[in-house]
Amino acid sequence: MASENNEARSEEMRRKIALVTGITGQDGSYLTEFLLEKGYEVHGLIRRSSNFNTQRINHIYIDPHNADKALMKLHYADLSDASSLRRWIDVIKPDEVYNLAAQSHVAVSFEIPDYTADVVATGALRLLEAVRSHTVDSGRTVKYYQAGSSEMFGATPPPQAETTPFHPRSPYAASKVAAHWYTVNYREAYGLFACNGILFNHESPRRGENFVTRKITRALGRIKVGLQRKLFLGNLQASRDWGFAGDYVEAMWMMLQQDKADDYVVATEESHTVEEFLERYFRPSEVDNLKGDASKAKEVLGWKPKVGFEKLVKMMVDEDLALAKREKVLVDAGYMDAQQQP
Ligand code: NDP
Ligand code: GDR
């Protein structure tokens, strides 16, 4: 009895282990910071690239030789490689798996639809199957988070909630719908603790530079210090519900802490339009208006956004102006070409 109690206590005290796909992306970096802060050991799957792709997490990386401090660990894998996913789950034995990896650019998905479907849709299925088969073989419980998107609502008018029908308008969005239903199916068919977060656009100074908000704030900084003269934009009329990525990763974690697995919309419930236009950026089919209804996440999870639209824009503009100033110093000293990335 005493030893059973001790075992239960040491299980309770054991550091939780999270496995994050897409750890090198915007959300992966904020989620990792958040989980480390909560005392987790975080394992990230990264894909091989010819250049370093860890810029967003370098500041939290500690050399693994420093064993007791290095609580973020990186491993090579790819969502297109089922064997790597199963192997790392067996080795890492995570308590929670966050599937954030994706070819996440909507416009690019029209150019590489087949690849997008393979990574976004089938990739999620590969990971779910790796988690399921691992739980069967090991008898362990593993919770799963799927990064769903407001793009799944596509042409359905706002406000969009969990019960709103999906009408995807791009290969990316259709692939996310498939991943959403794979996740629901694994929950219903196998009893897996699997949640879909249906997240509306969320941005930050770490946002990829070819998404519209960052493209604008980057250009603004560079134009201000004289490194760029023009900014070319696409659809001015498009309307989006933009929140701060740091707030949204908390909602992901909250979903996995509930007693029951479920699906949640995460949004600010405010929408704004893009303010500049350039004809050649129009996409073959466009999503006009997205504005979320996050009542369920507010009520059940107790989540609410801390950073509003104005603060978000200010945060991004301030950081990108500071970045442009650093860039200017390098350009003026002849260490960098104005077109290069710092
Ligand atoms: P990013 O584009 O910033 O990051 C995507 C991540 O996926 C990167 O780490 C990337 O690696 C990785 N990745 C891409 N392809 C593969 C692959 N084949 N195998 C393994 N890893 C891969 O996206 P965000 O952080 O903005 O978004 C995170 C997730 O949330 C995505 O699934 C996205 O679709 C979804 N989402 C995002 C929203 C947003 O507004 N940000 C809203 C709703 C959903 P690398 O660094 O090497 O490119
Ligand atoms: P989105 O983000 O497609 O909503 O997908 P993006 O920032 O690319 O576009 C938002 C809206 O702005 C319009 N737009 C432009 N977009 C880009 N990229 N570049 C431009 O120059 C430009 N000008 C206008 C777009 O047409 C669009 O209407 C993001 C991604 O993070 C997805 O992974 C995620 O699922 C959704 O948000 C929710």
Has 149 been annotated as catalytic? yes
Query: Could you tell me which of 218, 177, 248, 228 has the C-alpha nearest to residue 316?
Result: 218
Residue type, 299: E
- Alpha-carbon span 258 to 261, nearest angstrom: 7
| Secondary structure (3-state) at 145 | strand
Alpha helices in 226-308 (DSSP H): 245-256, 295-296
Partners of 244 in beta bridges: 203
User: ∠ CA(120), CA(177), CA(168), 5° rounding?
Assistant: 110
pLDDT in tens, the chain (342 residues): 555 666 556 655 789 999 999 999 999 999 999 999 999 999 999 999 999 999 999 999 888 788 778 899 999 999 999 999 999 999 999 999 999 999 999 999 999 999 999 999 999 999 999 999 999 999 999 999 999 999 999 999 999 999 999 999 999 999 999 999 999 999 999 999 999 999 999 999 999 999 999 999 998 899 999 999 998 988 888 999 999 999 999 999 999 999 999 999 999 999 889 864 344 744 556 666 789 999 999 999 999 999 998 899 889 989 999 999 999 999 999 998 887 765
Give residues (CB < 6 A) around ligand 1.
Answer: 21-22, 24-28, 47, 49, 53, 78-80, 100-104, 119, 147, 149, 199, 201-202, 208
Q: Are 309 and 242 a contacting pair, CB within 8 Å?
A: yes
Ligand closest to the CA atom of residue 292: 2
Q: Left (φ > 0), alpha (ψ -120 to 50) or beta: where does 201 sit?
A: beta
CA–CA distance from 319 to each of 81, 113, 232, 313 (Å)?
Answer: 36, 33, 21, 10
Distance CA 145, CA 339 (A): 38
Using a 6 Å cutoff on CB, does residue 170 contact ligand 2?
A: no
Is 281 an annotated catalytic residue?
Answer: no
Catalytic status, residue 186: no
Q: Which 3 state secondary structure label does DSSP give 184?
A: helix
Per annotation, catalytic residue among 29, 84, 104, 149: 149
The protein residue with its alpha carbon nearest to ligand 2, atom 35, reads 149
How many other β-carbons are positioned within 10 Å of the β-carbon of residue 165? Answer: 10
Maximal CA-CA distance, the chain: 74
Identify the residue whose C-alpha is closest to ligand 2 atom 27.
238
218 Cβ below 6 A of ligand 2: no
Q: Contact at 8 Å (CB) between 281 and 223? A: no
Nearest alpha-carbon partner for 128 in 148, 144, 147: 144
Name the residue at shortest CA distance from atom 16 of ligand 2.
212
ipTM of the complex: 0.99
Tell me the CA–centroid distance for residue 327 and ligand 1, in Å: 26
Beta carbon of 240 within 6 Å of any ligand 2 atom: yes
Q: What is the dihedral of CA 204, 210, 211, 217, to 10 degrees?
A: 50
Instruction: Identify the nearest ligand to the CA of 210 by its number.
Output: 2
Catalytic residue among 98, 104, 144, 151: 151
Residues in the chain: 342
What is the pairing mode between strands 194-199 and 202-203?
Answer: unpaired
